[in-house]
Amino acid sequence: MNITLKIWRQRNRETEGRFETYEMKDVSPDMSFLEMLDVLNINLIKKGQDPVAFDHDCREGICGSCGMMINGRAHGPGRGAATCELRMRKFQDGDVVTVEPWRAAAFPVIKDLVVDRSAFDRIMQAGGYVSAKTGGVPDGNAILIPKPIADEAMDAASCIGCGACVAACPNSSAMLFVAAKVSQFALLPQGQPERKTRALRMVEQMDKEGFGNCSNNYACEAECPKKISVMHIARLNREFIKAKVF
Amino acid sequence: MKSLVSLYSSSIGKKIVMGLTGLFLCLFLVEHLAGNLLLFANDNGHLYEEYSRILVSNPIIRAIEIILFLSLAGHALSGVVLWIQNRRARPQKYKEFRLDENTELASRITMLGGSIVFLFLVVHLSSFFFPLRITGTPMTAYELVREKFSNPWFGLFYLVALVILGYHLKHGFQSAFQTFGLVNKRYKALLDAVAFFFWFLLPAGFGSIPVYFFFFVKNTASPLVLRTLEHGWPV
Amino acid sequence: MKLDAKIPDGPIEQKWSNHRFHLKLVNPANKRKYTIIVVGTGLAGASASASLAELGYNVLAFSYHESPRRAHSIAAQGGINAPKNYSNDGDSIRRLFYDTVKGGDYRSREANVYRLAEVSGSIIDQCVAQGVPFARDYAGYLDNRSFGGAQVARTFYARGQTGQQLLLGAYSALCRQMDMGKVRFFPRREMIDLVVVDGQARGIVARNMVNGILESYTADAVVLATGGYGNVFFLSTNAKASNATAVWRAHKKGALFANPCFTQIHPTCIPQSGQYQSKLTLMSESLRNDGRIWVPKKKGDTRRPEDIPENERDYYLERLYPSFGNLVPRDVASRRAKEMCDQGYGVGPTKLAVYLDFSDAIKRLGRQVIEERYGNLFDMYHEITAEDPYKTPMRIYPAVHYTMGGLWVDYNLMSTIPGLYVIGEANFSDHGANRLGASALMQGLADGYFILPYTIGDYLASHSFKPVKTDHAEFKKAEQETEKSIKKLMAIDGKKTVDEFHRELGAIMWDHVGMARNRRGLKKALEMIPALREEFWKNVRVTGSDLDLNVELEKAGRVADFLELGELLARDALHREESCGGHFREEHQTPEGEAKRNDAKFSYVAAWEYQGPKRTATLNKEPLKFEVVKPSQRSYK
């Protein structure tokens, strides 16, 4: 099939970007979306042009590197999948496909479709951990965690940090990302001693990074490749209020 | 005090203010509707006048009224601040952004809806509250209502505004509970039912007033009203 | 070069504790005077960085990723082994040690493997303390499953995302140290060269991948935790950016490269679907518990699998291995699949696949049971291939996914360059010729949390360090050479893209140095690889600027290294005239077609020493002594 691509090209953080149009011929429906971009890049290199830069690595939906806005949807059409898991059979012959980087003040564009998500790392550094030093910890079975609790913590912990929640949110809010970590540790006994400071510090850092405010419209949950529930945002709110007020 | 200021300066803090003020305004609406249902009392506004008089003379009610205005201001101002921050969080817009495929309409138009509701409030207050309480009018409250709603355009404006208010509350009510962290799969059905009352039944109740006055109450004591007075119900 | 593995004396159970006692310590107040560079922040690198920083050292951590959380450790699915004996099935440190040595086909160092088994229990405790949500039972106890043919249930897991959860645990420990200012993290930096001053590893040159600037960093010791080199095959289950540049440049600076030919091929991957294919996706080998593997009896049969009657199907694993059937080890299953395809029995559009059929299992157990066991894998397969494995057999084909070889290290995990440590998949130490399932995560974390932090202290305490600055001649030399090489790559302006060269190299490696190797093929590869390398340096095209984010330039540097490493891999495979584990030489097999070791001649670690660009590497041998486990022949009939 043939596809027309409109891709955001931007040389670096300082320069202005613009959309470029590329015609892709004979795209196989079995290709992944990223493989289609690989083919585009080979064509561009052969013509002596700069290939389209995009982040990607594991190409099986777990590393969280890839992420682009495809036809107005974070990670493209469909649910519960990262961009690398998207196959071209989701598109029709003759489709015009618009590809943009994640857009948020907190995620500045580095080049083309590559954005700087280090804000997420800084949020994690603001308490997104249990202060367990290597060594000197009790036996794994000394801490009992009933299966339903462990399962719910695992649901939250499955976040891949791709940033789709921010990209899909009309307000560029990072609440789902922050909530996933705060919720995981709030559920587990290991997270209890630092429970309050963690919620306070992580939210404070999130605000400092320039993410928007959550307006509870749940686009994040709909576009999360790991289908993380907004129930975790409710828990984050609860944790934050408890820590602030009590 | 310091912790309250720092709470408000956080994103969640402002949303808590949105939620608390919003819910307080919702509670007021319940009281407001309950009182306004006296307009249906078929006594040419007698009970309604009595109710208004008690309200105005009660100092507690007057105090609540001040809180109410502060809530409204807090709700609107916080909403505007959040909105501006949210615009700033994405300086470069998407060329294509298909929020419609992921989210409910009600959640996407809170600012628009809120602004229209605010405009409506300005009209509403200047039509009723100001003449009755501040500038003064020779008419009774009931007469004023009757007179205003005799204008079909005025009534229609009310109906449209109430639909928008309903949409605003459809998102706002459950949103407040999400913000307080008070959602839970077990109580979701209960919360949904209460939310339904607020976003559907409440605006519908208010909406019945202009409809009633336009169709069933004549501005000057009309034959319809007289008949109503005789038989207790318009026929 | 004389290789001293520094294996401690004493009975195997006491080697590590004795050794720890004899290791010199750095005074707590003095630790902050030392700086350690850690390159790579996957499981091994992140756990090492965090643990070293906790001890008080200053750590500079480097990654070519934007964040430590992107490392490919994250993709490990199955689990992590530890002989906790929570299942009460008789597990012990000694049994895990024995299984690992045997699984490695007697080509690993006993003392290292014993230590690995010994510390593995602490890893589980550590990860639990960090808040890793391991699977639990209803009473709250840790759950175990059996894995990779082990006879005990000793595998701890977090759904099918164990690697992710363990990496996020190590990453969170690292974040804590970054928060406290003890670790400085340098994202999007690629280590381009190792700097050795007066015989000691004293720093690195890294390229800032965002603006192309070359940056030098000094330290008192350097740790490489940069993963394996499976991408030399182009198509593998490794992540796209996984590369061997850091270890290869260290090799060229004097670190010996051990057993490069020991590569592992995983049998159950989704086959290639076209020429554009960028990587292969692995599916858990648990699928072989219920799936039956077959090919049509007729060569080139193009009928749909459902239309091929039972008597025209060849369930070749069941035919060849009546007692183990479809559950033979990874290397055997992989090799047999390749054989079938080479003989023309392959299926699917590319004819490079065999069927993995669940129809019998669905008939026997019902669809629901199969769905519960493998639902997510079936969904993934469906998503990728658009075929429904409930209705039609899956197509599978083996793919490269782990490399047991790596830089040679002694018992302290130090390479042959003083002060250069190598941990995780990047070193060669623990898996011999074949790695068992659920033990890669174990080794990475053992090295990072519980081994390196002790052994590196001994080195720092027993050596003196002259102050070195980045304007030192060795740094300047490394920077200039790097810059020259980058400019050269940019200037070639040839006709072929980097990926085209990489694919060609991958095809040579797969065809001649892949699952089954023979003398003729290896010799051919040893002619083809240098020729391809020569062409690469004349005809590659790298567009754009070297002072921007330039993905092509990054890839070009990595492929240039793969073109050298591939040759060494082939040379090692040619020299090792035996079959063992993942290294199968067709000349050396039993009459039944199984791997035949030659313990008399090849019971050693082959450690290769770089001799310069135009000269072949020389071989050094570290003899392997088996004092506890008696080497024997594996049989699965």
Instruction: List, in sequence order, every residue forming a beta bridge with C183; answer none if it has no partner.
Output: C59
pLDDT of residue C523: 98
| Tens-digit pLDDT profile for residues B5-43 | 888 999 999 999 999 999 999 999 999 999 999 999 888
Q: Looking at this protein, which amino acid is placed at residue C508? A: I
Separation CA A112–CA A8 (nearest Å): 6
Separation CA C609–CA B74 (nearest Å): 74
Structure tokens belonging to residue C289: 């518990």
Residues of A in contact with C54 (CB under 8 A): 133-134
pLDDT of residue C371: 85
Query: In the structure, do chain A and chain C come into contact, i.e. share 3 or more CB pairs under 8 Å?
Result: yes
The answer to whether the Cβ–Cβ distance between B7 and A69 falls below 8 Å is no
A32 touches B: beta carbon within 8 Å: no
Residue ranges for chain A with pLDDT beneath 70 = none
Work out whether strand C35-39 and strand C58-62 pair parallel, antiparallel, or are unpaired.
parallel
B4 part of a folded domain: no
Separation CA B85–CA B23 (nearest Å): 23
Place of tokens 């608390």: B20
C571: left (phi over 0), alpha (psi -120 to 50) or beta: alpha
Name which of A71, A166, A216 to mutate to probe chain B: the one with the most chain B Cβ atoms within 10 A of its Cβ.
A216
A71 touches B: beta carbon within 8 Å: yes
Residues of C in contact with A34 (CB under 8 A): 278
Whether A122 and A241 share a structural domain: yes
Name which of A57, A131, A201 to mutate to probe chain C: the one with the most chain C Cβ atoms within 10 A of its Cβ.
A57
| Tens-digit pLDDT profile for residues B157-206 | 999 999 999 999 999 999 999 999 998 888 889 999 999 999 999 999 99
Instruction: List, in sequence order, every residue forming a beta bridge with B56; answer none if it has no partner.
Output: none
Q: Write phi, then psi, for B92 (nearest 5 degrees).
A: -100, 120
Q: B54: part of which helix (H) or strand (E)? A: helix B46-57
pLDDT of residue C593: 82
Among chain A residues, the shortest Cα distance to C273 is held by: A30
The answer to whether the Cβ–Cβ distance between C126 and A130 falls below 8 Å is no
Residues 6+ apart with CB under 8 A from A67: A55, A74, A75, A82, A83, A102, A115, A162, A163, A164, A167
Name which of C383, C387, C450, C504 to mutate to probe chain A: the one with the most chain A Cβ atoms within 10 A of its Cβ.
C383
pLDDT of residue C148: 63
The answer to whether the Cβ–Cβ distance between B16 and A222 falls below 8 Å is no
Q: Has residue B151 got a pLDDT over 50?
A: yes
Residues 6+ apart with CB under 8 A from C361: C290, C291, C292, C370
pLDDT of residue B223: 42
The distance from CA A66 to its chain's CA centroid, rounded to whole angstroms, is 8
C450 touches A: beta carbon within 8 Å: yes
What is the predicted ipTM? Answer: 0.98
Start-to-end CA distance of chain C, whole Å, equals 42
Start-to-end CA distance of chain A, whole Å, equals 61
Distance from CA of A130 to the nearest CA of C (A): 5
C284 touches A: beta carbon within 8 Å: no
Q: Looking at this protein, which amino acid is placed at residue A22? A: Y
**HSE-up of A22 (CA within 13 Å, CB side)?**
23
Q: B64: part of which helix (H) or strand (E)? A: helix B59-88
Structure tokens belonging to residue C547: 């002072």
C-alpha radius of gyration, chain C, whole number: 24
Whether A33 and A127 share a structural domain: no
pLDDT of residue A232: 97
Separation CA B109–CA B121 (nearest Å): 18
Separation CA A221–CA A214 (nearest Å): 12
The answer to whether the Cβ–Cβ distance between C549 and A53 falls below 8 Å is yes
pLDDT of residue C283: 87
The answer to whether the Cβ–Cβ distance between B10 and A204 falls below 8 Å is yes
Name which of A217, A221, A223, A236 to mutate to probe chain B: the one with the most chain B Cβ atoms within 10 A of its Cβ.
A217
Q: How far is the CA of A112 from the CAs of A98, A102, C240, in angstroms?
A: 13, 10, 19
Catalytic residues of C: 330
Residue C166 contacts residue A183 (beta carbons within 8 Å): no
- A240: closest CA among A188, A177, A186? A186
Residues of A in contact with C383 (CB under 8 A): 81, 85, 87
The distance from CA C558 to its chain's CA centroid, rounded to whole angstroms, is 17
Q: What is the CATH number of the domain that holds A25?
A: 3.10.20.30
- B113: closest CA among B175, B161, B178? B161
Place of tokens 């991957």: C269
**HSE-up of C599 (CA within 13 Å, CB side)?**
11
Last residue of a domain, one of A59, A77, A111: A111
The answer to whether the Cβ–Cβ distance between A57 and C240 falls below 8 Å is yes
Structure tokens belonging to residue B82: 């959040």
Distance from CA of A175 to the nearest CA of C (A): 19
Q: Write phi, then psi, for C60 (nearest 5 degrees).
A: -110, 115
Residue ranges for chain C with pLDDT beneath 50 = none
Residue A155 contacts residue A229 (beta carbons within 8 Å): yes
B97 part of a folded domain: no
Separation CA C359–CA C453 (nearest Å): 51
pLDDT of residue C633: 81
C243 touches A: beta carbon within 8 Å: no
| Tens-digit pLDDT profile for residues C278-309 | 899 998 877 888 899 999 999 989 999 999 99
Q: Has residue B231 got a pLDDT over 70?
A: no
Distance from CA of A72 to the nearest CA of B (A): 4
Residues of A in contact with B174 (CB under 8 A): 216
Task: Read off the pLDDT band of B233 (50, 70, 90).
Answer: very low
Chains sharing 3 or more CB pairs under 8 A with chain C: A
Give residue B116's domain range: 11-89+104-231
Query: In the structure, do chain B and chain C come into contact, i.e. share 3 or more CB pairs under 8 Å?
Result: no
Whether A213 and A234 share a structural domain: yes
Among chain A residues, the shortest Cα distance to B109 is held by: A217
Query: Residues A138, A139, A142, CA angle at the centre, nearest 5°?
Result: 85
Whether A64 and A12 share a structural domain: yes
Can you give the pTM of this predicted structure? 0.95
- The CATH number of the domain covering residues in C265-401: 3.90.700.10
Residues of A in contact with B15 (CB under 8 A): 213-214, 237
CATH topology of domain C1-6+32-262+404-632: FAD/NAD(P)-binding domain (3.50.50)
Give residue A184's domain range: 117-245
| Tens-digit pLDDT profile for residues C591-629 | 888 889 999 999 999 999 999 998 999 999 999 999 999
| Tens-digit pLDDT profile for residues A96-130 | 999 999 999 999 999 999 999 999 999 999 999 99
Residues of A in contact with B102 (CB under 8 A): 73, 168, 218-219, 222-223
Residue B141 contacts residue B52 (beta carbons within 8 Å): yes
Residue A182 contacts residue B181 (beta carbons within 8 Å): no
pLDDT of residue B219: 63
Residue A219 contacts residue A79 (beta carbons within 8 Å): no
Query: What CA dihedral angle connects A29, A31, A32 and A35, to 10 degrees?
Result: -140
pLDDT of residue B225: 43
Last residue of a domain, one of A111, A138, A155: A111
Q: Between A and B, how many CB-CB pairs are < 8 A?
A: 138
Residues 6+ apart with CB under 8 A from C532: C501, C504, C505, C508, C563
The answer to whether the Cβ–Cβ distance between A222 and B97 falls below 8 Å is no
pLDDT of residue C469: 97
Angle between helix B110-124 and B152-180 (nearest 10): 130
Q: Could you say which of A30, A42, A134 has the minimum Cβ distance to residue C50?
A: A134
Whether A40 and A10 share a structural domain: yes
- A210: closest CA among A110, A127, A122? A122
- C213: closest CA among C611, C486, C596? C486
Whether A121 and A231 share a structural domain: yes
Residues 6+ apart with CB under 8 A from C155: C78, C79, C80, C81, C144, C145, C146, C147, C148, C437, C438
Instruction: List, in sequence order, every residue forming a beta bridge with C420; answer none if it has no partner.
Output: C222
Among chain C residues, the shortest Cα distance to A115 is held by: C66
Count of domains for chain B: 1
Among chain A residues, the shortest Cα distance to B177 is held by: A234
Name which of B2, B86, B100, B110 to mutate to probe chain A: the one with the most chain A Cβ atoms within 10 A of its Cβ.
B86
Separation CA B148–CA B154 (nearest Å): 7
B58 part of a folded domain: yes
Instruction: List, in sequence order, every residue forming a beta bridge with C264; answer none if it has no partner.
Output: C402
The answer to whether the Cβ–Cβ distance between B90 and A203 falls below 8 Å is no
Last residue of a domain, one of A111, A133, A159: A111
Chains sharing 3 or more CB pairs under 8 A with chain B: A
B142 part of a folded domain: yes
- A180: closest CA among B57, B60, C164? C164
Count of domains for chain A: 2
Q: B26: part of which helix (H) or strand (E)? A: helix B11-36
A48: burial class by Cβ within 10 Å (0-12, 13-18, 19+)?
exposed
Q: Could you say which of B13, B16, B178 has the minimum Cβ distance to residue A234?
A: B178
Count CB neighbours of C611 within 10 A: 11
Among chain A residues, the shortest Cα distance to B188 is held by: A231
Separation CA A45–CA A63 (nearest Å): 27
The distance from CA C306 to its chain's CA centroid, rounded to whole angstroms, is 38
C-alpha radius of gyration, chain B, whole number: 20
Instruction: List, in sequence order, every residue forming a beta bridge with C206; answer none if it has no partner.
Output: C191, C215
Place of tokens 């043919």: C149
B94 part of a folded domain: no
Q: What is the CATH number of the domain that holds B176?
A: 1.20.1300.10
**Mean pLDDT, chain C, integer:** 95
Distance from CA of C271 to the nearest CA of A (A): 12
The distance from CA C377 to its chain's CA centroid, rounded to whole angstroms, is 23
B136-144 long-range Cβ contacts below 8 angstroms, 24+ apart: B140/B45, B140/B49, B141/B45, B141/B48, B141/B49, B141/B52, B142/B39, B142/B44, B142/B45, B142/B48, B142/B49, B143/B45
Instruction: List, in sequence order, every residue forming a beta bridge with A200; answer none if it has no partner.
Output: none
Q: Could you say which of A168, A211, A233 has the minimum Cβ distance to residue B102?
A: A168
Count CB neighbours of C140 within 10 A: 15
Distance from CA of A38 to the nearest CA of C (A): 8
